[in-house]
Amino acid sequence: MTKLEESVVLVVGASGGLGTRIAALLSDAGATVVRAARNPETISGPDAFVADLRDEAAAAAVVAAAIGAHGRLDGVVIAAGAVAFGPVGEVTDAALRELFDINTLAPIRLIREAMPHLAESGTAGRDPFILTLSGVVSEAPTAGLAAYSASKSALAAFTKAASRELRRAGIRIVDARPGHTETGLATRPIAGTAPAFPTGLDPDAVAQRIVSALADGEKDLPSTAF
């Protein structure tokens, strides 16, 4: 069991959608939550930091901010994401860059920057963790979402390999792969227009399932877990 009430957790992408819900549930469980998001209009408070994950320096900056505020780090939740729709022949270079910057490269950088601090947490006898959200498209890449599927599949591959390295330092990586969830992300694509999806999963239920998995020491959250 993870003692969330004694943890310092950085939640990146905490200005809407699942990130906000996960942050609130962690706080309710007694964790000290440091939040980071891109939009300064939707995030505020002493433990809130503005970070644009398209910036290569953002990952190091938000990890440093959490350490500077609390002196340690026990968990990282990476909930930021971007989506694009459309056929493969119409995907632009700009959309590709933004998808991979936010969905793939930023999480990799965050994991890299957090590793030494999470390892210290493990040495101190705590149960450090990293939570990523690659989503169901990393299990079943989807037509009309090829570039988005690729960016999330790359993240899933990285976390699967990285988890084998990080467990030696006592760091647990949990990759969550829920199906389409009603967070509103599909209404804010960086390119294209969302198709007519069936009603998605309840975001509150998805967030609760994720936080329960973190507390219970689970190591993977495939789509069937939701």
| pLDDT score recorded for residue 37 | 93
How many domains does the chain divide into? Answer: 1
**Helix, strand, coil in percent for the chain, rounding step 5:** 50, 15, 35
Contact of 134 with 163, CB cutoff 8 Å:
no
| pLDDT score recorded for residue 119 | 98
- Splitting the chain (226 residues) into consecutive groups of 10 residues, what average pLDDT does each group show? 87 91 96 93 88 95 97 98 96 97 98 98 96 98 97 98 96 98 95 94 98 96 98
CATH number assigned to the domain comprising residue 201: 3.40.50.720
pTM higher than 0.85? yes
187: tokens are 């209404």
Contact of 73 with 117, CB cutoff 8 Å:
yes
**What range defines the domain where residue 33 resides?**
4-225
Cα–Cα dist 226/209, whole Å? 7
| pLDDT score recorded for residue 44 | 83
